[in-house]
Amino acid sequence: MKKIVTSLLIVAFVLAMAGCGGSGGTAATQPAATSPQGSAGTPARDKLIVAIPETPTYVDPHIQATIGTFRVVTQIFDRLVELDADMNLVPTLAESWDIKDATTTVFHLRKGVKFHDGNTMTAEDVKYSLERCIASAGVNYNYLIISEINVIDENTVEIVTSEPCSVLLYRLTLDAASIVSKAAAESTSDFNAAPVGCGPFKFVSWELGGDITLAAFEDYWAGASPIKTLVFKTIPESISRTVALETGEVDIAYDLSATDFATVEANPKLKMATTTSGTVWYVGANVKDPILSKKEVRQAMAHAINKQDFITLTFNGNATDASNTMMSPYLMGYAPDLVTYDYDVEKGKALLAEAGYPNGFSCTLYVQDAQIYKDASVALQEALRQIGITVEIKSMDGATFTSATSKGEHQLFFMSKTSIDPDSMLRAMYSEDSLGASGNRTFYVVPEIDQMLDEALATTDSEHAKDLYKQIQAIVAEDVPLYPLAVEYLNVGMQSDVNGFKLYPGKTHYIYGTHIGE
């Protein structure tokens, strides 16, 4: 087969099908490592401290899909293929791939790749890792279409899908498709306590509720990172992350509040980086709840929210209206405002009365304890108060929030979703395949939607796929099990001597390639 030509053809085809967008997690391009020097020829600092707003739930990539988790595990594990910061597919652990037929892709692995435990990566590790992913209800919804993973030889693996899958390569860039050491995973009952990958950084320690420390992997296939110690420090409050930058406690701070931009930009010792994202923030309703099961109630809540005010209060304007779709503008099939809910308090009250709640009702809103959730919860509480809904805010740490909403303990909840292809986004939000931990925390199921998702995934006709995605967006916009509110801009603040760092639109920014000094 014509390996290189075929590889280029499939990249072009998938790009045409999937468009460009954000992801639940993957890595940026991995440039060759350098050994930067500080001023006057002295060695640059080699410890990097990164402030993050939410602590990971796990450091095993195959348990549950959360941005907090993937921001850390993407440093520890590599995947067969990845997306760079410009959303281009690049070979990683697979040097090339062939399209054998409509359902079969053969991957040719990079030789001599070492895991952190010293073992050499082989096709057996790839097969084991992907099958481990598929077996996990917390991350497998993107991979259920894979029917076989066959080892051809030590450096060749074949992936077979049950139907043609237009976005297979994109799915393999996600952190859920990380390649783990089979030997390490099989030798322990708690891989989460000692994860072993073949990425640029290896796991060192995780303090209970505190810092996660990684170390540069000196045998990394692309060259060792000049950052020798990498620490992720959880600082939920945005203002506290900004202060940590100002005092030099941290080198990089993720997701600063837009109100702090001017502070950072005015400080000659600091700098900002920003980019657009594929992340959509939304408020969701548990449709199994007797009250929220009524469509009129959910529509009433949508009418109660002034989205521009919400974006100002929650993001200080650092976001755009999501236009009542979970599809970001990057994604193929994006169809905004098929059904609209203009800000109309009286309409909201009328819908509540129609549903049998003329005097409103009380409900809970589950949020995480990071600043953006707190700001959003107050804005939502006030908006819903206008139509007679009394909201009790329940704020909790990320692990508790993830567990509670996965089990359906909530009534309302607020969170975000990032995706790099339309199927991944829509399937996670609305499919029966994804109930609970995999993303569908509204527990909304419409068999017609699942059928259309499967048909769109299998078709090679991009126009037909677009039409199906548009139909799905129209159905869910009318039923409004969740209400998309804002498409987020991404930002980080950095010390001025931090160089080489790139923001990844999927939010799981890759540290490899970053250095301190000139």
CATH no. for residue 14? 3.40.190.10
Q: CATH number, domain at 339?
A: 3.10.105.10
Number of other residues whose CB lies within 10 A of the CB of residue 451: 11
Do 98 and 213 lie in one domain? The reply is yes
Number of domains within the chain: 2
**Residue 495: closest CA among 229, 307, 184, 270:** 270
- Strand-pair category, 229-234 with 212-216: antiparallel
Taking CA atoms, 328 is separated from 199, 208, 298, 301, 445, in Å, by: 29, 36, 22, 22, 22
Q: What was the pLDDT predicted at 458? A: 85
408-428 pLDDT per residue, tens: 999 999 999 988 789 989 999
Which has the higher per-residue pLDDT, 136 or 488? 136
Q: For 399, phi and psi rounded to 5 degrees?
A: -65, -45
Average pLDDT over residues 168-191: 95
Do 191 and 302 lie in one domain? The reply is no
Task: Output the CA torsion 192→197→201→203 (10° steps).
Answer: 30
Question: How far is Cα 515 from Cα 498, in angstroms, rounded to an integer?
Answer: 6
Classify residue 69: in a domain, yes or no: yes
Helix (H, G, I), strand (E, B) or coil at 235: coil
Average pLDDT over residues 248-265: 93
Question: How far is Cα 253 from Cα 309, in angstroms, rounded to an integer?
Answer: 26
Do 483 and 500 lie in one domain? The reply is no
Average pLDDT over residues 241-269: 94
Q: What was the pLDDT predicted at 66? A: 86
pLDDT band at 12 (very low <50, low <70, confident <90, very high): very low
Non-local (6+) Cβ contacts of 222 within 8 A are: 30, 31, 32, 33, 200, 512
pLDDT at 42 over 70: no
Question: How far is Cα 363 from Cα 133, in angstroms, rounded to an integer?
Answer: 36
pLDDT at 293 over 70: yes
Average pLDDT over residues 78-82: 97
Do 462 and 353 lie in one domain? The reply is yes
- Cβ atoms of 310 and 322 within 8 Å: the answer is no
Q: What was the pLDDT predicted at 16? A: 37
Do 225 and 300 lie in one domain? The reply is no
Q: For 428, phi and psi rounded to 5 degrees?
A: -65, -35
Do 324 and 224 lie in one domain? The reply is no
- With tokens 């677009």, the residue in question is 466
Element (H, E) at 181: none
Classify residue 240: in a domain, yes or no: no
Question: How far is Cα 113 from Cα 222, in angstroms, rounded to an integer?
Answer: 9
Do 111 and 224 lie in one domain? The reply is yes
Do 505 and 452 lie in one domain? The reply is no
Do 183 and 306 lie in one domain? The reply is no
Instruction: Compute the chain's Rg from CA coordinates.
Output: 23
Instruction: Determine the Cα angle at 220 with ends 218 and 226, to 5°.
Output: 55
pLDDT band at 34 (very low <50, low <70, confident <90, very high): very low
Average pLDDT over residues 28-41: 34
- With tokens 């599809």, the residue in question is 327
Q: What was the pLDDT predicted at 464? A: 94
Q: What was the pLDDT predicted at 468? A: 97
- Could you tell me the pTM of the whole model? 0.71
Range of lowest pLDDT (286-295, 456-465, 496-505): 456-465
Classify residue 255: in a domain, yes or no: no
Classify residue 193: in a domain, yes or no: yes
Number of other residues whose CB lies within 10 A of the CB of residue 237: 15
Report the Cα–Cα distance between both ends of the chain, in Å, rounded.
45
Q: What was the pLDDT predicted at 258? A: 82
Q: What percentage of the chain exceeds 70 in pLDDT?
A: 91
Which has the higher per-residue pLDDT, 157 or 328? 157
pLDDT at 17 over 60: no
Classify residue 251: in a domain, yes or no: no
Do 509 and 463 lie in one domain? The reply is no
Element (H, E) at 255: none
97-139 pLDDT per residue, tens: 998 998 999 999 999 999 999 999 999 999 999 999 999 988 9
Classify residue 239: in a domain, yes or no: no
339-379 pLDDT per residue, tens: 999 999 999 999 999 999 999 999 999 999 988 999 999 99
Classify residue 238: in a domain, yes or no: no
Do 296 and 172 lie in one domain? The reply is no
DSSP secondary structure letters along 443-475: ----HHHHHHHHHHHH-S-HHHHHHHHHHHHHH
For all residues of the chain together, what is the average pLDDT?
89
- Cβ atoms of 38 and 44 within 8 Å: the answer is yes
Do 168 and 314 lie in one domain? The reply is no
pLDDT band at 142 (very low <50, low <70, confident <90, very high): confident
Average pLDDT over residues 423-449: 94
pLDDT band at 44 (very low <50, low <70, confident <90, very high): low
Question: How far is Cα 100 from Cα 78, in angstroms, rounded to an integer?
Answer: 24
pLDDT at 28 over 70: no
* Domain housing 105: 3-233+496-516
Classify residue 250: in a domain, yes or no: no
Q: What was the pLDDT predicted at 409? A: 96
Q: Which long-range contacts (CB under 8 A, 24 or more apart) does 82-85 make?
A: 82/26, 82/27, 82/28, 82/29, 82/30, 82/173, 83/23, 83/26, 83/27, 83/28, 83/170, 83/173, 83/420, 83/504, 83/506, 84/28, 84/29, 85/28, 85/29, 85/502, 85/503, 85/504, 85/505
Which has the higher per-residue pLDDT, 255 or 11? 255
Question: How far is Cα 501 from Cα 506, in angstroms, rounded to an integer?
Answer: 15
pLDDT at 437 over 60: yes
